[in-house]
Chain A
């Protein structure tokens, strides 16, 4: 079974620039999550999709972050404009259904450095 695919693997940008990350979940997984993991911290949920609808985006900084999951499959996360504190690993995960932490699969993540 193919895992969760993410790209790019690494990205370095200057502050105030824009950046986009892409995620392709495991086939058939209805629920997709974007997490931000800052060095030394646990993953923090940014947004959760159920199919193409948003379930929870309460911790998404909506003034600069946006995400979409058109057609309920692939998803993109965008940051515009980036700040230094956005430097982190952005992890995408998927599961068959919401809340199934035992059935989560994470992608390898995108490591963002904002300089």
Chain B
């Protein structure tokens, strides 16, 4: 079983739509959780951390469910610029594990 699993998508949505996707992780002892964004042929960049109580950053909402070991990301009012691959990242101690990414394409 992979340490971090994501639905690869692609999620193809119109501008203004809401899109949401999940990530599951296998290590119940994982301590920290993040969403990274990776544009085509670019390096990953931190989008947001994921806190136990859930957190928002503008149009982005992240949720953590430790009991079921999954993390979610919701994007409201999608923009063309949100088109990217979203990588789920799980950390325990010093080690980070990356998911394969969920591709989102926002169309005009």
Contact surface of A with B, Cβ cutoff 8 Å: 31, 35, 40-45, 48, 55-56, 91, 98-99, 101-102, 104, 106-109, 111
Max chain A Cβ within 10 angstroms of own Cβ: one of B41, B42, B43, B46? B43
B34–A102 contact, CB under 8 A?
Answer: yes
Minimum C-beta distance from B43 to chain A (A):
4
A44–B42 contact, CB under 8 A?
Answer: no
A101–B89 contact, CB under 8 A?
Answer: yes
20 contacts between A and B (CB under 8 A): A40-B8, A42-B98, A43-B44, A44-B98, A45-B96, A48-B95, A56-B94, A91-B44, A98-B93, A99-B91, A101-B34, A101-B46, A101-B91, A102-B32, A102-B34, A102-B49, A106-B43, A106-B44, A106-B45, A111-B41
CA–CA, A78 and B46, complex, Å: 27
> SS class of chain B's interface: helix, strand, loop or mixed?
strand
Contact surface of B with A, Cβ cutoff 8 Å: 4, 8, 32, 34, 41-46, 49, 87, 89, 91, 93-96, 98-101
CA–CA, A98 and B94, complex, Å: 5
CA–CA, A55 and B44, complex, Å: 22
Give the residue name and chain of the A residue nearest to B89 (CB): A101
Minimum C-beta distance from A50 to chain B (A):
8
